[in-house]
C-alpha cells in the first residue's frame, strides 16, 4: 500500500513522478476539502442506499448494522446525499460544530 | 514538404564514412539522427523549420531510415508526439526555432518533468517582434529554465557529434533528461562545412539501444503526468533539480568516451589562449570561432586577451567556469539576446551569479551583440574589448550596453 502524498520525500519519488502502483488515488484525502459533513439520523433511515448510489466520491460504505455511513477521509461535503435522502435522515453540519 | 534538393550540398547519394565531406550542416545533422537510429521524428514542416527534418522526411520516405515521421499541425503537437513516443520507449527527435519554439514551450517543461530523453535541435533564431528570421539566442533563452540539458555548439561537426553524445547522455539511467542542441540558425544550419562522418559500427557501439526505465505498456499499467498537490509539488521539483545538476559527471564521462572514439574531445567550458589573459571574451555558439580570430589578432598586437566558450549551458558548469575565469581582470561577456528591462543579457547574468561569491573576481562588462543575424566580425570583438577595458579602467566595472546600435 502506498502512502499519502504528503509523506513522500523528494528522494523517494520515482523518476518522472510516474505512479507505479495502480489505485493509489485511495490514499488521496479528499475529506479535508469539506466545510460541511453529513450526519445520519438512524431513526429516520430506511436503508434505501440512495446516499450510497448518488455519492460522487464513493465515500459511502455499508456498516455491520446495515447503515450507509460516509467515510470522512474521502467525503468532500458536497451534500448530495442529504439532498437525495427521501426521509431527510442526513443533515449537513458545519464541521467545526461537532 | 518540398523536394528541391539542389541547395542541399552533399546530402544526397552514397556518403563515405570516416572521411571529411562537404555538406550542409542541417543535412549532416539529419544524417546523424539517421545514424542514431531514431524511431520517431515529429515536426511541423514549414517556417521556422530547417532542412534537418526535410532531409529526414526524405530518408524515411525513401526507406533509408526505418522510423515514423509525424508531420504535425504545430510545434506544440510536435513536442507532444515526442513525449508520447518517448513514453512508450521510442527514441524520438524533433527540431524547431524561434516562434515554433515559443509555441512548443509549454511541452518542453512537461518533457523534462516526465524525464523523457527526447533530443531537439534548435536552429537558433530571433523571436518576433519585429518579425525576423535571422540568428540570435532569444528563442532558446525563453526556455532557459525548462529543465533540459542544453548544449551550444560552434560548427557543423559539433552538431553532428552531439546528436550521438546527447542521446547517450539523456538516455542513461542515471540521467534521463531531454537534451537541446543549440546551433546558430543560418550561420550554421544553412552553410556547407566539412564534416567527418563516423562509421555506423562505431555509432552502434557508442550508442546502445534505448532502454526506458518506466515505459507505458499495457502489461504494467502506470500513470504518467499525474497532477501534484502543493503538498508534493516542491518535492518533485527538488528531485528534478538535483537530478539535472547530478547529470554533470555523466556528461563529462560521455564526452570523454566520444573523444576516445573520435579524437574530438569536448568540455563544458572551453578556452582559447586564456590561461594568462587579463581580459577574457566570453561567448556561446558559432560566434566563438570569430572571437578566436579576434583573439589571435589582439595577441599579435601584444595584448593579453583570451577566449572562454560556454558549451554546456544547463546544468551550468559553475566550477569549470570559475576555474577558467577567476584569474582574469576583465570578462567581456557577449550576449546574443536582450533581457528587456533586466540586468543585462542572460549570459552575463549567469556569469555574474557564478562568480559573485568569490572575494577576488573579475569585472564583468556585458555587450549584447549580433542580435537578429547582424554580423559580428573580428574587428567588432576588438572594439568591444577596447571599450570594455577603458570603461572598467574608468570605474564602470559592471557595464552593459547594446553594441553597434546607431545613435
Residue B130 and residue B54 in one domain:
yes
Residue B248 and residue B344 in one domain:
no
Residue from A6, A10, A19, A25 whose CB has the most chain B CBs within 10 Å, to mutate: A10
Supply A83's cell numbers: 439532498
Supply the pLDDT for residue B12.
45
Residue B277 and residue B311 in one domain:
yes
- Cβ contact A68:A61 at 8 Å: yes
Residue B370 and residue B300 in one domain:
yes
Domains for chain A: give ranges and CATH numbers: 29-94 (3.30.70.20)
Report yes or no: B7 at the A interface, CB cutoff 8 Å: no
CB-based contact A15 B222, cutoff 8 Å = no
Closest chain B residue to A16, measured at CA:
B114
d(CA A59, CA B182): 52
Using CB atoms, which residue from A8, A10, A18 is nearest to B222? A18
Residue B94 and residue B37 in one domain:
yes
Q: How far is A66 from chain B (nearest CA, A)?
A: 36
CB-based contact A17 B113, cutoff 8 Å = yes
Residue B60 and residue B180 in one domain:
yes
d(CA B325, CA B303): 17
CB-based contact B231 A10, cutoff 8 Å = no
Q: What is the CATH number of the domain that holds B300?
A: 3.40.50.920
Is it the case that residue A75 has pLDDT exceeding 90? yes
d(CA B247, CA B240): 11
Strands (E), B149-242: 149-152, 179-184, 192-196
Residue from B109, B234, B236 whose CB has the most chain A CBs within 10 Å, to mutate: B236
- Domain for residue B389, yes or no? yes
Supply the pLDDT for residue B14.
54
Is it the case that residue B3 has pLDDT exceeding 50? no
Q: What is the CATH number of the domain that holds B38?
A: 3.40.50.970
CB atoms within 10 A of CB A32: 10
d(CA B87, CA B170): 14
CB atoms within 10 A of CB A17: 23
Residue B40 and residue B77 in one domain:
yes
Provide the mean pLDDT of chain B: 95
- Domain for residue B163, yes or no? yes
Question: Based on C-alpha coordinates, what's the Rg of chain A?
Answer: 16
Supply the pLDDT for residue B302.
97
Which residues in B lie closer than 8 A to residue A22 (C-beta atoms)?
221-223
- Cβ contact B47:B75 at 8 Å: no
CA B50 to chain centre: 16
CB-based contact B223 A18, cutoff 8 Å = yes
Strands (E), A12-54: 36-40
Supply the pLDDT for residue B16.
60
The beta-carbon contacts of B343-346 under 8 Å, at least 24 apart in sequence, are: B343/B400, B344/B368, B344/B400, B345/B400, B346/B137, B346/B141, B346/B144
Supply the pLDDT for residue B27.
98
Which residues in B lie closer than 8 A to residue A27 (C-beta atoms)?
none
- Domain for residue B311, yes or no? yes
- Domain for residue B161, yes or no? yes
What does the pLDDT average to over B75-100?
97
Q: What percent of chain B has pLDDT over 90?
A: 93
Supply the pLDDT for residue B287.
96
Identify the bridge partners of residue B181 per DSSP, sorted by sequence position: B121, B151
CB atoms within 10 A of CB B94: 31
Side-chain-side CA neighbours of residue B367 (13 Å): 25
pLDDT one-digit tens code per residue, B364-394: 999 999 999 999 999 999 999 999 999 999 9
Phi, psi of A90 (to 5 degrees): -110, 125
Closest chain B residue to A10, measured at CA:
B235
Which residues in A lie closer than 8 A to residue B235 (C-beta atoms)?
8-10, 13
Residue from A6, A14, A18 whose CB has the most chain B CBs within 10 Å, to mutate: A18
Supply the pLDDT for residue A2.
67
The total domain count for chain B is 2
pLDDT one-digit tens code per residue, B187-235: 999 999 999 999 999 999 999 999 999 999 999 999 999 989 899 999 9
Report yes or no: B15 at the A interface, CB cutoff 8 Å: no
Measuring CA to CA, which residue among B70, B89, B136 is closest to residue B286? B136
Sorting pLDDT into bands at 50, 70 and 90, what band is A96? confident
Sorting pLDDT into bands at 50, 70 and 90, what band is B15? low
Supply the pLDDT for residue A23.
80
In which domain, by residue range, is B282 found?
Answer: 269-402
What does the pLDDT average to over B335-347?
96
Residue B204 and residue B282 in one domain:
no
pLDDT one-digit tens code per residue, B239-285: 999 999 999 999 999 999 999 999 999 999 999 999 999 999 999 99
Closest chain A residue to B231, measured at CA:
A6
Is it the case that residue B5 has pLDDT exceeding 50? no
d(CA B92, CA A40): 56
CB atoms within 10 A of CB B199: 13
Strands (E), B246-329: 269-272, 279-283, 305-310, 312-314
What does the pLDDT average to over B7-19?
53
Identify the bridge partners of residue B332 per DSSP, sorted by sequence position: B281, B365
Residue B196 and residue B330 in one domain:
no
pTM: 0.89
Residue B370 and residue B340 in one domain:
yes
- Domain for residue B407, yes or no? no
Supply the pLDDT for residue B9.
40
What does the pLDDT average to over B331-358?
96
Contacts of B167 (CB under 8 A, 6+ apart): B36, B91, B117, B119, B179, B207, B210
CA B385 to chain centre: 26
B59 sits in which H/E element: helix B51-61
3-state class (DSSP) for residue A41? coil
What does the pLDDT average to over B288-308?
98
Report yes or no: B224 at the A interface, CB cutoff 8 Å: yes
Which residues in A lie closer than 8 A to residue B229 (C-beta atoms)?
5-6
CB-based contact A16 B235, cutoff 8 Å = no
Residue B64 and residue B31 in one domain:
yes
This complex has an ipTM of 0.85
Percent helix, strand, coil in chain B, to 5, is: 40, 20, 40
- Cβ contact B54:B5 at 8 Å: no
CB-based contact A11 B114, cutoff 8 Å = no
Supply the pLDDT for residue B8.
42
Identify the bridge partners of residue B182 per DSSP, sorted by sequence position: B122, B152
Q: How far is CA B17 from CA B65, B67, B191, B195, B200, in A?
A: 17, 22, 20, 10, 8
Report yes or no: A26 at the B interface, CB cutoff 8 Å: no
Report yes or no: B238 at the A interface, CB cutoff 8 Å: yes
Residue B15 and residue B142 in one domain:
yes
- Domain for residue B264, yes or no? no
What does the pLDDT average to over B118-125?
98
Sorting pLDDT into bands at 50, 70 and 90, what band is B87? very high
Supply the pLDDT for residue A27.
83
Amino acid at each position: 500500500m502506498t502512502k499519502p502524498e504528503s509523506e513522500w520525500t523528494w528522494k523517494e519519488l520515482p523518476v518522472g513522478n510516474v505512479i507505479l502502483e495502480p489505485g493509489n488515488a485511495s490514499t488521496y484525502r479528499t475529506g479535508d476539502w469539506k466545510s460541511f459533513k453529513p450526519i445520519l439520523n438512524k431513526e429516520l433511515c430506511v436503508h434505501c442506499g440512495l446516499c450510497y448510489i448518488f455519492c460522487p466520491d464513493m465515500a459511502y460504505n455499508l456498516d455491520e448494522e446495515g447503515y450507509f455511513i460516509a467515510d470522512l477521509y474521502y467525503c468532500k461535503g458536497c451534500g448530495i446525499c442529504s439532498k437525495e435522502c427521501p426521509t431527510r435522515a442526513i443533515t449537513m453540519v458545519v464541521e467545526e460544530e461537532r | 514538404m518540398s523536394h528541391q534538393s539542389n541547395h542541399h550540398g552533399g546530402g544526397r547519394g552514397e556518403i563515405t564514412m570516416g572521411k571529411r565531406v562537404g555538406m550542409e550542416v542541417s543535412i549532416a545533422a539529419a544524417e546523424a539522427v539517421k545514424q542514431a537510429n531514431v524511431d520517431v521524428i515529429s515536426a511541423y514542416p514549414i517556417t521556422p523549420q530547417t532542412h534537418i527534418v526535410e532531409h529526414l522526411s526524405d530518408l524515411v520516405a525513401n526507406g533509408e531510415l526505418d522510423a515514423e515521421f509525424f508531420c504535425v499541425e504545430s510545434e506544440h503537437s510536435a513536442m507532444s508526439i515526442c513525449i508520447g513516443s518517448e513514453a512508450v520507449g521510442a527514441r524520438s527527435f524533433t527540431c524547431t526555432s524561434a516562434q515554433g519554439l515559443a509555441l512548443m514551450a509549454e511541452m518542453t517543461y512537461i518533457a523534462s518533468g516526465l524525464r523523457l530523453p527526447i533530443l531537439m535541435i534548435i536552429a537558433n533564431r530571433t523571436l518576433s517582434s519585429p518579425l525576423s528570421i535571422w540568428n540570435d539566442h532569444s528563442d532558446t533563452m525563453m526556455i532557459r529554465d525548462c529543465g533540459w540539458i542544453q548544449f551550444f555548439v560552434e560548427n557543423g561537426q559539433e552538431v553532428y557529434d552531439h546528436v550521438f553524445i546527447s542521446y547517450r547522455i539523456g538516455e542513461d539511467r542515471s540521467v534521463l533528461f531531454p537534451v537541446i542542441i543549440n546551433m546558430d540558425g543560418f550561420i550554421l544550419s544553412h552553410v556547407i562545412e566539412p564534416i567527418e562522418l563516423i562509421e555506423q559500427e562505431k555509432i552502434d557501439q557508442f550508442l546502445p539501444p534505448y532502454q526506458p526505465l518506466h515505459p507505458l505498456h499495457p502489461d504494467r499499467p502506470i500513470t504518467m503526468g499525474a497532477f501534484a498537490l502543493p503538498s508534493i509539488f516542491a518535492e518533485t521539483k527538488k528531485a528534478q533539480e538535483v537530478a539535472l545538476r547530478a547529470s554533470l559527471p555523466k556528461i563529462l564521462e560521455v564526452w570523454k568516451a566520444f573523444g576516445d572514439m573520435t579524437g574530438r574531445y569536448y568540455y563544458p567550458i572551453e578556452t582559447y589562449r586564456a590561461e594568462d589573459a587579463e581580459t577574457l571574451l566570453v561567448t556561446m555558439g558559432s560566434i566563438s570561432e570569430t572571437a578566436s580570430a579576434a583573439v589571435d589578432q589582439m595577441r599579435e598586437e601584444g595584448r593579453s586577451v583570451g577566449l572562454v566558450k560556454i558549451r554546456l549551458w544547463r546544468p551550468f558548469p559553475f566550477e569549470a567556469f570559475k576555474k577558467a575565469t577567476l584569474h582574469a581582470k576583465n570578462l567581456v561577456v557577449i550576449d546574443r539576446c536582450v533581457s528587456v528591462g533586466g540586468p543585462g543579457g542572460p549570459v552575463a547574468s549567469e556569469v555574474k551569479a557564478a562568480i559573485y561569491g568569490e572575494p577576488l573576481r573579475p569585472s564583468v562588462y556585458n555587450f549584447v551583440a549580433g542580435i537578429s543575424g547582424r554580423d559580428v566580425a573580428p574587428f567588432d570583438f576588438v572594439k568591444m574589448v577596447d571599450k570594455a577595458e577603458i570603461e572598467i579602467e574608468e570605474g564602470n566595472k559592471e557595464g552593459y550596453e547594446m553594441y553597434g546600435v546607431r545613435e
